[in-house]
Amino acid sequence: MPSNKSVSDAPIVQFTNCRILRSHQLQREDLWVREGKILNPEKLFFDEKGSADIQVDCKDSIIAPGFIDVQINGGFGVDFSLATDDFKSGIDLVSQKILSHGVTSFCPTLVTSPPSVYHQVLPQISIRNGGAHGAGILGAHLEGPFISKEKKGAHPEHCLRTFETGAFQDLLATYGSLDCVRIVTLAPEMKRSSEVIRELTKRGICVSLGHSVANLSQAEEAVQHGATFITHLFNAMLPFHHRDPGIVGLLTSDKIPAGRRVFYGMISDGIHTNPAALRIAHRAHPKGLVLVTDAIAGMGLAPGRHTLGQQVVEIDGLNTYIAGTKTLSGSVATMDTCVRHFQEATGCSVETALEAASLHPAQLLGIEHKKGTLNYDSDADFLMLNDGLYVQATYIAGEEVWRQDALGM
Q: Per the annotation, does 211 bind a ligand?
A: yes
Alpha carbon of 366 to those of 18, 110, 116, 363: distances in Å?
28, 21, 30, 5
Nearest to 135 by CA among 392, 381, 367: 381
19 Cβ contact partners less than 8 Å away, ≥ 6 residues apart: 26, 27, 28, 60, 61, 62, 63
Alpha-carbon gap, residue 230 to 216, rounded angstroms: 13
Tell me whether residue 9 is one of the annotated catalytic residues.
no
Q: Give strand pairing partners of 16.
A: 57
Q: Per the annotation, does 281 bind a ligand?
A: no
Q: Per the annotation, does 148 bind a ligand?
A: no
Catalytic residue among 269, 294, 336, 379: 294
Q: Give strand pairing partners of 369.
A: none
Q: Per the annotation, does 154 bind a ligand?
A: yes
Torsion angle of the four alpha carbons 38, 396, 91, 392, in this order, in degrees rounded to the nearest 10:
130
Alpha-carbon gap, residue 340 to 337, rounded angstroms: 5
Alpha-carbon gap, residue 292 to 172, rounded angstroms: 26
Element (H, E) at 217: helix 216-224
Cα angle vertex 300, ends 67, 234, to 5°?
60
- Do residues 50 and 23 make contact, with C-beta atoms less than 8 angstroms apart? no
Nearest to 143 by CA among 180, 111, 182: 111
Give phi and psi for 265, each to the nearest 5: -85, 145
Q: Per the annotation, does 143 bind a ligand?
A: yes
Alpha-carbon gap, residue 174 to 246, rounded angstroms: 28
Residue type, 362: A
Q: What is the DSSP string of 227-239?
A: --EESSTTTTBPP
Give phi and psi for 395, each to the nearest 5: -125, 140
Which spans in 286-381 are helix H? 335-346, 350-356, 359-365
Q: Per the annotation, does 140 bind a ligand?
A: no
Q: Per the annotation, does 17 bind a ligand?
A: no
Alpha carbon of 339 to those of 50, 101, 292: distances in Å?
37, 10, 9
Which spans in 14-86 are helix H? 41-46
Binding residues for substrate are 154, 235-236, 243, 272, 328-330
Binding residues for Zn(2+) are 143, 211, 232
Instruction: Return the active site residues.
Output: 294
Binding residues are 143, 154, 211, 232, 235-236, 243, 272, 328-330
